[in-house]
Structure 1
Amino acid sequence: MSADERVFVIVGASLAGARAAETLRAEGFTGRVLLIGQEDEVPYERPPLSKGFLQGKDAREKAYVHPREWYAEKDIELLLGRRAVAVHPQARTVTLDGGEQLAYDKLLLATGSRVRTLDVPGADASGVHYLRTYPDSEALRAALSRDPSPQVLVVGTGWIGMEIAAAARGYGCPVTVVGTDRAPLRKVLGDEPAAVFRKLHEANGVEFRFESGVREFGSLDGAVRSAVLDDGTELAVDLVAVGVGIRPDTALAEHAGLAVDDGVVVDASLRTSDPDIYACGDVASAYHPLLGRHLRTEHWANARAGGKAAAKAMLGQDVSYEQVPYFFTDQYDLGMEYCGWAGPGDYARVVFRGSTEIVDGKAPEFIAFWLTDDDRVVAAMNVNIWDVQDDLSALVKAGFSGTPADPARLADPSVPLSALLPT
């Protein structure tokens, strides 16, 4: 079969899906490229939904991966507002809602994830918001910016919850955050770095209720008006923003009989258990050669780089996806970048370069390093210090390759980061 007769289908008009389609054309693929998305929106990046767009600073179009006309120019067929309901690997077809069948030679699943919802009485009241799509962000932004300012309850102490809390305070809303852990972001960052974010939010007027969940919501005329916590405390609220995590959207993969384990299981080339089907982005649990295990990461950089890598693999190129996990956040005057992988049990201690103190409500400037027992750097985070990610990523790669670092030199701001890199 000649190249221009092949059909590559991408399910998920997301950042990952759009980057895959872009890469197919950039690498010279001249066959059919179909990009299927459930939303009517052209592919967009999601970080602005909880950052610049939610805060009212960025225009909607700023997050678009490409303008609509770009897809026509590149002969990429956009099937928006359509849902893939089944994949048939033996027949190599995808079934769309409405029954239409699409044949494929290679298939990419970039189906992303779905928000976890609260299963408590009253959670269906108006004024209870989730955040995953542009309409979600638009509705939440409109609710936060109304006059008088609503009393906001944020459920969840992860990245989305903390970014929503910061945005809400930017609109002048009173904010209470409730979470089951004892500090915000603790499961991701550990106790000491998490304490920095707690102090920053408290300095900006956020009240926390830790080690608790919501038992039920009360409403009046269908609108949320109160929340009862696990200990029986009742809070008056006008708006609830729920950020309790996401789950990979593996329904198509499961229907197709693909290997699934906290995501669609793929090898280092992002190929699934079927040789003609690939997966990338939030939905993929990919084998990471550097870390020696499968990882599923839910961040912008993984979608961006994973889409490109998957496209190259679909074209038969030799691909080993070794992207160092990366994410970023903006909260108040704090900007942060993080690279590496340091979950509970993956590190022994955190070493800081610079002060982590909140002074006069202002965010600090520092770098944090997550070290193993043998002083290998497995993750690093720069806070309000810029243009250091290349060096930090190199330190993390060296750490996972078995090279230790000197903790004293890591902590010493007078030692250039470049001087810490292995030669």
Structure 2
Amino acid sequence: MSGSDPIVIVGAGQCGLKAAETLRAAGHADDVILIGQEAHPPYQRPPLSKAFLKGELARDRLWLKAEAFYVDQRIEARFGTTVTALDPGRHRITLGDGQKLAYSKLLLATGTRARRVALEGVDLPGVFTLREIADVEWLTTHLKPGMHVAIVGGGYIGLEVAAALRSAGLEITVIEGADRVMQRVVCPEVSSFFERLHREHGVTIHTSTTTRRILGSERATGVELGDGRTIACDAVLIAVGAEPVADLAEAAGIAVDNGILVDEGCRTSAPDVYAAGDCAAFPSARYGRTLRLESVQNAIDQGKAAAKSMLGEDVSYDPLPWFWSDQYDVKLQIAGLSAGYDEVRIEGDPEAGAFTATYLKGGRPICVDAVNQPRAHMMARRSLADAATGRQAAE
């Protein structure tokens, strides 16, 4: 590197890309190096379990920027490159080929990986997760209409994949250990709506059901449930959530607790090392606790905030989270976080497929789920953000 103020970004997803873009837009003239483990340029991940899986979106439509962007913006793109070590004291990282790179500031935007499960048979061919382009391409190559897929996990990813594969003519069984699907993030009324939606499309759902092991010798041929029942299938999707990729930071002695711990300016416990996106856990005055968010919104906004912070701008990152999920012809949009709610108000008609669920805590709205109600979602985002601003001003 030729410059004296090089900024290195480890992680070439939406967060890392937005940080690189923001650095250039803010006038950083020295080197910007964007390192990604996948051979692909930064791409959209949400369509992997939606439009891309259904074949409605070509691979090159996933790219977030054209190749010329990296040249025009003088962003040194190193895709297909691993980082094996971080030395905060010497301000340098080590790459998979042994090369060492110095940095003035470093951003860790390493994202998440599929959560591991300790199941017998989990390493058999035919058992897969869905986090990368390669996962989807394996699916579309090996799975054909009429085949049977068992999905372990009834959260967002599990249900989105169930919808996409069922629409493509595959037989689907969802196995969920909790009492209802999406239990961690939505109220019983919303869970019931989506359970009914999937059953109406021919998906078999087992709730309050554990998976004991995956059956097969040469490849996965079924799953054995906790009660001893077996389900024959052609493939098994493990969709039990994600975990932050914090190994590099932890090995370097940086504070980690369900993510790389950062302050409101995205700074880690190591000097000149920042973290943002799905891998970062930040303090939220809005919610009075440490948060780690897995969303496109957070990846983009925190990547931008981290870039500004690296350039010396005073940053206090504390967003109103929002998310979405597409299943069949239904769009679920969530504004806020529902944790700790003590009341739910339903408006609209779930039977008609369009309604909202407003979560309240002590009589105050804290989150709104909007099902096929995009206008209500936007209004909820504004009202929840305004309410939080008003409370902070009053305090």
Work out whether the TM-score is over 0.5: yes
Partner of 2:226: 230
User: Contact 2:222–2:235 (CA<8 Å) still a contact in 1?
Assistant: no
Aligned to 2:18, the other structure's residue is in SS state helix
Can you list the C-alpha shifts for 1:164-204, whole angstroms capped at 9, x where unaligned?
A: 11011111111110010011101111222111111111111
Quick check: 27-36 or 185-194, which moved more? Answer: 185-194
User: Contact 2:88–2:271 (CA<8 Å) still a contact in 1?
Assistant: no
Code of the residue aligned with 2:180 in structure 1: it is A
Aligned to 1:393, the other structure's residue is in SS state helix
Match of 1:191 among 181, 188, 192: 188
Quick check: 289-298 or 47-56, which moved more? Answer: 289-298
Aligned to 2:366, the other structure's residue is in SS state strand
Can you list the C-alpha shifts for 1:196-217, whole angstroms capped at 9, x where unaligned?
A: 1111111111111111222122
Q: RMSD of the TM alignment (CA)? A: 1.6
User: Contact 1:348–1:372 (CA<8 Å) still a contact in 2?
Assistant: yes
Aligned to 2:184, the other structure's residue is in SS state helix
2:154 maps to 1:157:
yes
1:332 Cα offset (Å): 0.6
Q: d(CA) in 1 for partners of 2:162 and 2:227?
A: 22
Code of the residue aligned with 1:264 in structure 2: it is I
Partner of 1:415: none
Match of 2:354 among 361, 365, 376: 365
Within a 5 Å distance, the mapping from 1:24-39 to structure 2 comes to 24-39=23-38
2:353 maps to 1:348:
no
1:281 Cα offset (Å): 0.6
1:141 Cα offset (Å): 2.5
Partner of 2:176: 179
User: Contact 1:270–1:280 (CA<8 Å) still a contact in 2?
Assistant: yes
Partner of 1:74: 73
2:394 maps to 1:395:
no
Partner of 2:371: 383
Can you list the C-alpha shifts for 1:192-248, whole angstroms capped at 9, x where unaligned?
A: 21111111111111111111222122225x122121111000111112111011111
2:39 maps to 1:40:
yes
Partner of 2:53: 54
Q: d(CA) in 1 for partners of 2:388 and 2:7?
A: 35
Partner of 1:117: 116
- Structure 1 vs Structure 2: percent identity of aligned residues? 39
Q: d(CA) in 2 for partners of 1:395 and 1:377?
A: 9
User: Contact 2:150–2:172 (CA<8 Å) still a contact in 1?
Assistant: yes
Code of the residue aligned with 2:223 in structure 1: it is A
Aligned to 1:327, the other structure's residue is in SS state strand
Q: d(CA) in 2 for partners of 1:76 and 1:398?
A: 37
Partner of 2:246: 250
Quick check: 32-41 or 56-65, which moved more? Answer: 56-65
2:277 maps to 1:289:
no
Quick check: 102-111 or 54-63, which moved more? Answer: 54-63
Quick check: 210-219 or 321-330, which moved more? Answer: 210-219
Aligned residues: 390
User: Contact 1:143–1:239 (CA<8 Å) still a contact in 2?
Assistant: no
Within a 5 Å distance, the mapping from 1:297-308 to structure 2 comes to 297-308=293-304
Q: Which runs of 4+ in 1 moved over 3 A?
A: 387-390, 398-403
User: Contact 1:94–1:102 (CA<8 Å) still a contact in 2?
Assistant: yes
Code of the residue aligned with 1:5 in structure 2: it is S
1:140 Cα offset (Å): 1.5
Can you list the C-alpha shifts for 1:267-324, whole angstroms capped at 9, x where unaligned?
A: 1111111231110011000112322321001111111111111111111111111221
Task: Return 5+ residue gaps in structure 2 as ranges.
Answer: none
Quick check: 229-238 or 378-387, which moved more? Answer: 378-387
1:69 Cα offset (Å): 2.2
Aligned to 2:334, the other structure's residue is in SS state strand
The normalised TM-score by structure 2 is: 0.95
Q: d(CA) in 2 for partners of 1:143 and 1:166?
A: 18
Q: d(CA) in 2 for partners of 1:67 and 1:207?
A: 41
1:151 Cα offset (Å): 0.9
